[in-house]
Amino acid sequence: MNQLYDCRDAYTSALEDVASGDPRIVVVVNDSIGSSKLKSFGTKFGRRMINVGIAEQNMVGIAAGLANGNKIPFVSGAAPFLTGRALEQIKVDLAYSHANVKLCGMSSGLAYGELGPTHHSIEDLAWTRAIAGMTVIVPADPLETDQAVRAVARIDGPVFLRISRMPVPIVHPADYRFEIGRASTLRDGNDITLIATGTMVSRALEAAVLLENVGIAARVLNMATIRPLDTDAIIQACLETRGIVTIEEHTI
């Protein structure tokens, strides 16, 4: 796990691919073309990308209208502002009406670092998973990000896809297949289970190696889907190991 990758590159590559095959897919951004790495999308698809400026509430409302017009909007913006400023619109305009809008929260967690708490997004998963009808996904690496983009483009209904700008290693084998609502076991063990999501999955794998050095066999679960949650995997871990530790780049 030495080489590191930016999941935003996988996001835009997959998005361009699915948009090439489905003219309903459009992108709505809040002055975040650069930080979302969507310049090439704009070049390739022109008017299928709408920049509303720094107006997150308006952006979500526009996306809801586009969805009602049989488009599939991918709304890309910095996670703290996309969720924090537009939470009411996400709840009312998207979830209540089951609008087919894909919210893509970029630079999530603590990724903005020195910009401070105004730019940190450590409540977004709690907010979005609490809204009825939302699907919430947090990919752990570029491979999973690519597959998650393709998966959410196929399903109907509102989605929050959380993507970090922090470079991460590839944690999945090449034949990995992402499935919404299904956790993946990346390392087996019968002493303790580490349930991680997003950027923390690679950290959990590193921790499992350290634990192995002191005689503790740790199972590592990648809980890429926060809603719907894979409760079967959690129950199985509770039955087969002696403890559960959750690891997430988020408020607990």
User: Domain 184-247 classified CATH 3.30.565.10?
Assistant: no
Annotated catalytic residue within 56, 144, 248, 249: 56
**3-state secondary structure string across the chain:** CCCCECHHHHHHHHHHHHHHHCCCEEEEECCCCCCCCCHHHHHHHHHHEEECCCCHHHHHHHHHHHHHCCCEEEEEEEHHHHHHCCHHHHHHHHHCCCCCCEEEEECCECCCHHHCCCCCECCHHHHHHCCCCCEEECCCCHHHHHHHHHHHHHCCCCEEEECCCCCECCCCCCCCCCCCCCCEEEECCCCEEEEECCCHHHHHHHHHHHHHHCCCCEEEEECCEEECCCHHHHHHHHHHCCCEEEECCCCC
Identify whether 240 is a catalytic site residue. Answer: no
Q: Report pLDDT digits (tens) over 143-195.
A: 999 999 999 999 999 999 999 989 999 999 999 999 999 999 999 999 999 99
Q: pTM for the complete prediction? A: 0.95
Domain 7-162 is classified in which CATH homologous superfamily?
Thiamin diphosphate (ThDP)-binding fold, Pyr/PP domains (3.40.50.970)
- State the pLDDT at residue 33: 87
| Same fold flag, 7-162 and 184-247 | yes
User: Mean pLDDT throughout 101-127?
Assistant: 89
- State the pLDDT at residue 1: 60
Domain residue extents for the chain = 7-162, 184-247
